[in-house]
Chains A and B, each alone.
Chain A
Amino acid sequence: GNSVTQMEGPVTLSEEAFLTINCTYTATGYPSLFWYVQYPGEGLQLLLKATKADDKGSNKGFEATYRKETTSFHLEKGSVQVSDSAVYFCALSSSSGGSYIPTFGRGTSLIVHP
């Protein structure tokens, strides 16, 4: 079956530091890959996505590249801000039973200090 493994948190960084959150996956076929973010007190929001190998998703300074050879979709940002503090979820989905039900990882909490 499908599964997603992401690095354990919390990840604690100082403002302007470089961020990497690792994510690897196991899936049959050719899934789409996603990063969701949950800011405190809010719902999950789609941060970025990639639908095929070598695609790069990007949004708000975050990037992730779909690497089929290493089955990875690591999230990166060159310079984090305090406002990036949130929980980040890696996810994949593939059409199954007529819908794209995502499979999520466990989430990684990011704490950015001023």
Chain B
Amino acid sequence: EAGVTQFPSHSVIEKGQTVTLRCDPISGHDNLYWYRRVMGKEIKFLLHFVKESKQDESGMPNNRFLAERTGGTYSTLKVQPAELEDSGVYFCASSQGSYNEQFFGPGTRLTVL
């Protein structure tokens, strides 16, 4: 069974540009989560989807971040326009139920220059 996959693995962009990260959860997992780890700091929760609906987006830092999960399958996280402080590793996770173990992807390392 395939795990959670994320694309791209690395992205280097300039300040002001737009970047879109993609996450493919484990097949059949209704719950999808986005997290971010800024260099050397904690992994912070960004938001949680149940199917295509946003269950909790309390961790989204500001309105430059837009997450979607059309059709309840894969999800995208768009940063527009990117700022220097957006650099970090973005993790995606999925789970069967909200109280079940979350399975994490390898992360996308975003560098904003």
Q: Which of A41, A44, A46 lies at the interface centre, i.e. has the most chain B CB atoms within 10 A of its CB?
A: A44
B48 touches A89 (CB 8 A): no
Interface residues of B (CB under 8 A from A): 3-4, 31, 33, 37, 40-45, 48, 55-56, 91, 93, 98-99, 101-107
User: Do residues B33 and A101 form an inter-chain contact, with CB atoms below 8 A?
Assistant: yes
Q: Are A99 and B41 in contact (CB under 8 A)?
A: no
Q: What residues of A have a CB within 8 angstroms of the CB of B91 in the complex? A: 43-44
Any chain B CB within 8 A of the CB of A100?
A: yes
Q: Quick one: given A99-B31, A99-B56, are A43 and B105 in contact (CB under 8 Å)? A: yes
Q: Does A95 contact B (CB under 8 A)?
A: yes
Question: Is there an interface contact between B107 and A99, defined as CB atoms closer than 8 Å?
Answer: no
In the bound complex, residues from chain B placing their C-beta under 8 Å from that of A105 are 42
Q: Which of B3, B42, B56, B101 contacts A101 (CB 8 A)?
A: B56
A99 to B101, CA, bound (A): 11
Q: Are A44 and B104 in contact (CB under 8 A)?
A: yes
Contact at A41–B106, with CB atoms within 8 Å? yes
Are B55 and A106 in contact (CB-based, < 8 A)?
A: no
A4 at the interface (CB under 8 A from B): yes
Q: A44-B91, A104-B43 are in contact. Are A99 and B48 (CB under 8 A)?
A: yes
Top 5 nearest A-B pairs (CB, nearest first) are: A99-B98, A44-B104, A43-B104, A104-B43, A43-B106
- Which A residues touch B33, using CB under 8 A? 101
Interface range, A side = 20 to 34
Partner of B3, one of A43, A46, A95, A97: A43
A100-B45 Cα distance, complex, nearest whole Å: 11
B99 near A43: Cβ-Cβ < 8 Å = no
Residues of chain A with a CB closer than 8 A to B56's CB: 97, 99, 101
Additional 12 contacts, C-beta under 8 A, given A4-B42, A107-B42: A41-B106, A43-B3, A43-B107, A44-B43, A44-B93, A44-B104, A95-B99, A99-B31, A101-B56, A103-B45, A104-B42, A106-B40
CB-CB < 8 A to A45: which residues of B? 104
